[in-house]
Amino acid sequence: PNIEILLKIFLTIPLSNASGESYFSVLKRIKNYSKSTMGDQKLSNLAIMYIEQETLNRVDTAIIIDEFAISKTRKKFI
């Protein structure tokens, strides 16, 4: 839960103009790739993950996997 909150706060930091333009370019590529078959929220999340891939590479996935394994609900919305 704390990691989720931290990621949401970090990913809402304002982007510069160049980063903003890059975001829309990435969004367009992802949307074309998916053939518009996914919802807007999932599309937005994928774009954010692509743009912030350096940050995601620093995240300890073992913690996330452990939290998922002990959770009773298998479907969580991020």
- On whether residue 76 sits in a domain, the answer given is no
Burial 19-30 (b: 16+ CB within 10 A, else e): eeeebeebbeeb
- On whether residue 6 sits in a domain, the answer given is yes
Q: Is pLDDT larger for residue 62 or for residue 16?
A: 62
CB atoms within 10 A of CB 51: 19
- On whether residue 8 sits in a domain, the answer given is yes
Summarised one tens digit per residue, pLDDT across range 60-78 is 888 888 888 887 766 656 5
What's the structural domain count of the chain? Answer: 1
Summarised one tens digit per residue, pLDDT across range 23-62 is 667 767 766 665 556 677 777 787 788 888 888 888 888 8
Nearest-angstrom CA–CA distance, 1 and 31:
29
pLDDT classification of 1: cutoffs 50, 70, 90: low
- On whether residue 77 sits in a domain, the answer given is no
- On whether residue 78 sits in a domain, the answer given is no
Range of the domain at 47: 2-70
Residue 7 has pLDDT above 80, yes or no: no
